Amino acid sequence: MKRLCGICVAAIAAGAACRSRPPPAAGLDEEAKTFVRLGLALAERDPDSLDLYAGPPEWRAQAARDEATLDDIRDGVLALAEHIEIIDGGRAGHLLQQIRALRTRIDILKGARPRFDDESRLLFGTAVAPPDPARITAVRDELDRRLPGRGSLRARYAAYQRAFLVPESRRAAVLERALVECRRRTRDHLVLPAAEQLTIAWVSNTPWPAFTRYDGSFHSRLELNAALALTVDGALDTACHEGYPGHHAIAVLQDAELVRGQRQIEFSLQLLFSPDAVRSEGLASAAADVAF
């Protein structure tokens, strides 16, 4: 017989209770905790779904011990959504966005294959605009005019980039200096916790060029792909995007202001396939332009 996890039972019970007495929007703490626990339960079955978690460690330990299946988790998600849908307010709306993404990810893991536009809307809360051929052609024409030499555009661009490669022996020093400057400029405008810290690790056998892991307590670990070349502008963009005012600074301020300051525990967890992840990536992508 399928065994329902405790947190899923709690979500279903909350859904039943809400039919007679809807809670106020300000009183969503228990619902937020349920969302976090459901997200952790999914992460045990689908590690790729979890971007970061900085909440109570015992919740993650409990999720690891739990016997919930995807069906169990989905039942809990549906009950929680039914409970929150009747509540007005920004916090409830935000929670519903994340819950919808959680449900959609579970459905995909169970075999659902939504259309691209539907998947984008349900997971990320946004629609992808179709490419503009005229704009693409204009950009390629501009690059063609600006890049020297002969041959294909790709070959000429690669040759141009090689002129700005950082020697491997200098990569660490250049990146650390870039982080120092990005942090200085960020602190001119934002108050970061005194204990915040970003450490660097060069790693191998990874599919991405760089990835920031927020460990909680205002500390992050920036992992960099040692196999990839680094240009001067790439070092600055990476330092801003991954560090300041990008992913590390965003996670630190979210922890300080929302989780600790406003007691909104839902922000201690970020799903990789969610509207929150899109917002975080969008902010980080603009970080270099903001800092410089």
- The whole-number pLDDT of residue 211 equals 96
Identify whether residues 108 and 180 lie together within a single domain. Answer: no
What is the average pLDDT score of the chain?
A: 91
In a domain? residue 156: no
Give yes or no for a contact between 212 and 220, defined as CB atoms under 8 angstroms apart: yes
- The whole-number pLDDT of residue 89 equals 85
Distance, CA of 52 to CA of 225 (rounded, Å):
19
- The whole-number pLDDT of residue 254 equals 97
> Using 50, 70 and 90 to split pLDDT, how confident is the model at 5?
low
Model confidence at 10: pLDDT above 60: no
Model confidence at 181: pLDDT above 50: yes
In a domain? residue 59: yes
For residue 45, what are its two tokens?
Answer: 């079955």
Range of 31's domain?
A: 6-124
Q: Provide the 8-state DSSP code for 222.
A: E
Q: Provide the 8-state DSSP code for 205.
A: S
Model confidence at 14: pLDDT above 60: no
Identify whether residues 214 and 273 lie together within a single domain. Answer: yes
Cα distances (Å, whole numbers) of residue 211 to 39, 214, 225, 272? 21, 10, 9, 13
Identify whether residues 106 and 204 lie together within a single domain. Answer: no
Domain boundary residue, one of 124, 149, 180 = 124
- The whole-number pLDDT of residue 13 equals 42
Identify whether residues 199 and 273 lie together within a single domain. Answer: yes
Q: Give mean pLDDT, residues 13-39.
A: 70
Domain boundary residue, one of 68, 102, 124 = 124
Identify whether residues 174 and 98 lie together within a single domain. Answer: no
Greatest CA span in the chain, whole angstroms?
74
Lowest-confidence region among 8-17, 166-175, 189-198: 8-17
| CA nearest to 224, candidates 213, 215, 233, 211 | 211
Question: pLDDT tens digits for 218-246?
Answer: 999 999 999 999 999 999 999 999 999 99
Higher pLDDT, 152 or 8: 152
Distance, CA of 143 to CA of 139 (rounded, Å):
6
> Using 50, 70 and 90 to split pLDDT, how confident is the model at 27?
confident
Distance, CA of 264 to CA of 94 (rounded, Å):
11
Q: Provide the 8-state DSSP code for 25.
A: G
In a domain? residue 170: yes
- The whole-number pLDDT of residue 128 equals 87
Cis before residue 245, ω within 30 degrees of 0? yes
pTM as predicted: 0.87
Helix H or strand E encompassing 52:
strand 50-53
Model confidence at 59: pLDDT above 70: yes
In a domain? residue 157: no
Q: Give mean pLDDT, residues 16-34.
A: 66
Q: What percent of the chain has pLDDT over 70?
A: 91
Q: Give mean pLDDT, residues 115-142.
A: 95
Distance, CA of 249 to CA of 192 (rounded, Å):
8
| CA nearest to 103, candidates 258, 239, 273 | 273
For residue 197, what are its two tokens?
Answer: 């810290």
In the chain, what is the straight-line distance between the N-terminal and C-terminal CA atoms, in Å? Answer: 59
Identify whether residues 107 and 197 lie together within a single domain. Answer: no
- The whole-number pLDDT of residue 26 equals 54
Identify whether residues 118 and 170 lie together within a single domain. Answer: no
**Who's near 100: CB < 8 A, 6+ residues apart?**
81, 122, 125
Question: pLDDT tens digits for 150-162?
Answer: 899 999 999 999 9
Domain boundary residue, one of 67, 99, 124 = 124
